[in-house]
Amino acid sequence: MSHPDVLVVGGGIGGLGVAFSLTRQGQTVRLLESAPAFGEVGAGIQLAPNCTRILDDYGLLDEAKSLGVVPDAMVMRDAVDGSELTRLDLRHLEQRYGYPYLVIHRSDLHGLLLRACERAGVELVNDAKVTSYENTEDGARVTLSSGETQQAGVVIAADGLHSVARKLFVDDQPVSSAYVAYRGTVPAEQPRVRSVDLSEVVVYIGPRCHFVHYGLRGGEMLNQVAVFESPKALAGQDDWGTPDELDAAFAGTCDFVRDGLPFMWRDKWWRMFDRDPVMTWVHGRIALLGDSAHPPLQYIAQGAVMAIEDGWVLGEHVARHRAGDGAVDWTAALAAYEAVRPEHCRRVLTTSRKWGELWHLDGLAREQRNVLLRARDTYDYSFTDWLYGPTALTPDQEPEMFTPVPLDSAQPVPAGGVA
Give yes or no for a contact between 71 and 48, defined as CB atoms under 8 angstroms apart. no
* Residue of 226, 225, 232 lying closest to 176 (CA atoms): 232
Distance CA 110, CA 124 (A): 14
Strands 73-78 and 200-206: parallel
> DSSP secondary-structure letter at 365?
H
Q: At what angle do helices 303-320 and 49-57 cross, to 10 degrees?
A: 40
Question: Vertex 368, ends 366 and 374: CA angle to 5°?
Answer: 100
What is the dihedral sign for C-alpha 14, 20, 24, 29?
A: positive
Alpha helices in 68-179 (DSSP H): 90-97, 106-120
Q: What are phi and psi of 321, to 5 degrees?
A: -120, 35
Q: How many CA atoms lie within 13 A of 377 on its CB side?
A: 4
Distance CA 95, CA 165 (A): 40
Give yes or no for a contact between 7 and 150, defined as CB atoms under 8 angstroms apart. yes
**String of DSSP letters for 169-230:** T----PEEEEEEEEEEEEETTSHHHHTS-TTEEEEEEETTEEEEEEEEGGGTEEEEEEEEE-
User: Which position among 182, 204, 214, 388 bears the catalytic label?
Assistant: 214
* Residue of 276, 387, 397, 274 lying closest to 339 (CA atoms): 397
Q: At what angle do helices 303-320 and 13-24 cross, to 10 degrees?
A: 20
CA distances from 385 to 48, 50, 335 (A): 12, 10, 26
Name every residue whose Cβ is closer than 8 Å to that of residue 20 and which is 6 or more positions away in sequence: 58, 113, 116, 117, 120, 122, 311
Alpha helices in 3-157 (DSSP H): 13-24, 49-57, 61-67, 90-97, 106-120
> DSSP secondary-structure letter at 292?
G
Cβ-based neighbour number of residue 335 at 10 Å: 13
Give yes or no for a contact between 201 and 74, defined as CB atoms under 8 angstroms apart. yes
Active-site residue, 214 included: yes
So which residues are the catalytic ones?
A: 214
